[in-house]
């Protein structure tokens, strides 16, 4: 999360507000030591400095999103 965890709250609510069994959720501030230690975040930068979500299935990631509505569509498999 580039600006701070509170800025990512709408995306976090979208993810944790639904039942997603057998899923991995990873988050960290861009450039933080935590992000540097997470291979899943490598080559997945924030878009335009905004909190960004990447939805990946079977090792293929969809287009990164910054809006909760777009994230909801991806999580629902509508995209």
- Cβ-count burial 3-21 (b if 16+ within 10 Å, e if not): eeeeebeebbebbeeeeee
d(CA 44, CA 56): 11
Report pLDDT digits (tens) over 34-73. 888 888 888 898 999 899 999 999 889 999 999 999 999 9
Specify the length of the chain in residues.
79
Instruction: Name the nearest CA neighbour of 28 among 47, 10, 53, 48.
Output: 53
What pLDDT score was predicted for residue 3? 52
pTM for the whole thing? Answer: 0.84
């Amino acid at each position: 999360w580039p600006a701070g965890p509170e800025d990512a709250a709408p995306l976090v609510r979208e993810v944790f507000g639904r039942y997603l069994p057998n899923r991995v959720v990873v988050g960290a501030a861009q450039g933080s030591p935590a992000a540097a230690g997470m291979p899943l975040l490598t080559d997945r930068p924030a878009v335009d400095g905004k909190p960004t979500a990447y939805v990946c299935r079977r090792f293929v990631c969809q287009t990164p999103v910054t809006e909760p509505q777009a994230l909801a569509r991806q999580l629902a498999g509508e995209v």
